[in-house]
């Protein structure tokens, strides 16, 4: 298993906003244990490459990584729970992002659709009675004219 390495020297004067930019946590080849920035010897952390992958979806904050490394050392079970939580969070964020994408017409698939406003629905109910095709529908396709 590959572990993320860290430079104790850069750890002292890093910026918190970007773990990689500050040289704090670094992937190195197995035969190279020097910090690419200050040439100090790197030390192994307990974080695996896969875990780092998942955490990088959440944050790039160095202090966040610090606390996750500490948590894995002190309480591996709690650490696994947290990781599962983060995974869920990321998945939820991804599904929210995809469901908030543009609605499509169910018949022709066009995204050129308009919301039928409440006023317009009420007006057409008044003009054409309950038979109006707009009753109970809220969207109208500008492409094929389908309402739903």
Site for Zn ion, rule CB under 5 A: 7, 9-10, 35, 37-38, 40, 105, 107-108, 110, 141, 143-144, 146
Residue among 71 and 139 whose Cβ is closer to Zn ion:
139
Closest CB 131 distance from Zn ion, rounded Å: 22
Closest CB 46 distance from Zn ion, rounded Å: 19
Residue among 35 and 83 whose Cβ is closer to Zn ion:
35
Residue among 10 and 55 whose Cβ is closer to Zn ion:
10
Going by C-alpha positions, the residue among 58, 57, 142, 145 that lies closest to residue 102 is: 142
Closest CB 19 distance from Zn ion, rounded Å: 12
Interatomic CA distance for residues 113 and 110, integer angstroms: 7
Closest CB 133 distance from Zn ion, rounded Å: 14
Interatomic CA distance for residues 51 and 131, integer angstroms: 59
Residue among 60 and 147 whose Cβ is closer to Zn ion:
147
Residue among 14 and 79 whose Cβ is closer to Zn ion:
14
Closest CB 24 distance from Zn ion, rounded Å: 8
| Dihedral sign from CA coordinates of 55, 60, 64, 70 | positive
Q: What is the DSSP string of 9-61?
A: HHHHS--SS-TTTTTSEE---TT--B-TTT-PBEEEEEEEHHHHHHHHHH---
Q: Name residues whose C-beta falls within 8 Å of residue 83's C-beta, 6 or more positions apart in sequence.
A: 51, 54
């Amino acid at each position: 298993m590959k572990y993320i390495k860290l430079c104790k020297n850069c750890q002292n004067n890093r910026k918190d906003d970007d773990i990689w930019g500050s040289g704090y946590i670094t992937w190195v080849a197995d035969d190279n244990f020097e910090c690419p920035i200050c040439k100090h010897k790197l030390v192994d952390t307990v974080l695996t490459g896969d875990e780092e992958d998942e955490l990088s979806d959440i944050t790039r904050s160095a202090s966040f990584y610090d606390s996750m490394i500490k948590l894995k050392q002190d309480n591996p079970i709690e650490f696994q729970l947290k990781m599962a939580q983060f995974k869920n969070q990321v998945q939820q964020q991804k599904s929210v992002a995809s469901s908030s994408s543009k609605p499509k017409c169910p018949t022709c698939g066009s995204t050129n659709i308009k919301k039928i406003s409440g006023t317009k629905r009420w007006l057409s109910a008044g003009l054409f009675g309950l038979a109006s095709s707009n009753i109970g529908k809220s969207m109208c396709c500008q492409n094929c004219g389908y309402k739903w």
